[in-house]
A = this chain, B = another copy of it.
Amino acid sequence: MVKITDPTIDEYLMSLSKEDDKQLLEMEEFAREKHFPIVDRLVGRLLFILTKLKNPKLIVELGSGFGYSAYWFAKALSQGKVVLTDYEEKNLQVARKTFKRAGLLDKIELRAGDAREIAKEYSGIDILFIDIEKYQYLEAIKILLPNLNRHALIIADNSLWYGRVLEDTADKETAGIKKFNEFMFANKDFFTTIIPLRDGVLLSYKVT
């Protein structure tokens, strides 16, 4: 499997990206201990800047885990809220504790269940963050297009899928990511690019 970014570059970036937010450090430690996949600090910092620039009222996450990405979104919000979704109620309970300790509970909504079904209840989504099963990305975005606000931003994690997008493989996760990427780049209602940060962060800006 290819290394998307040279590991020494990642080390340099991490050495610059010092963190003193106790909750973030605890979440990163929790992820390491439990081998729980999170977007990591460098992607988190990008989410923070994108949120500051966008100044959204409504962020909906498809697949929140225990709230690491949502925490970066919430920290950047000056108004509005983040809706966290996860199949596992117990992940959201961990999130609730973290956001409570950080005084950010008023910025979030926690919803257990099928992320796509839950997201359909919300309209005017300003930022849609996608981090569910990879074969579900394309179906999810097709279902949720009507729920996006004008000039919405879609952010999808794992859009390079550890470099497997380069392989001629039939596994449904890789095929799903490739089809999703192709769909977004071909869709004229969006301007799309992929940032080769960590596992690839797709950004799609709704031009309509």
Interface residues of A (CB under 8 A from B): 2-6, 8-10, 12-13, 16-18, 42, 45-46, 48-50, 52-54, 151, 153, 160, 163, 165-166, 181-182, 185, 191-197, 203, 205, 207
Contacts and interface: CB of A to CB of B under 8 A. Distances in A.
Copies of this chain in the oligomer: 2
Given A9-B163, A16-B185, A166-B12, A193 B45 contact: yes
Contact of A52 (B8, B166, B191): B191
Contacts of A193: 13, 17, 42, 45-46, 48-49
B48 A191 contact: yes
Contacts of A185: 16-18
A106 B142 CA distance: 38
A2 B3 CA distance: 12
A52 B196 contact: no
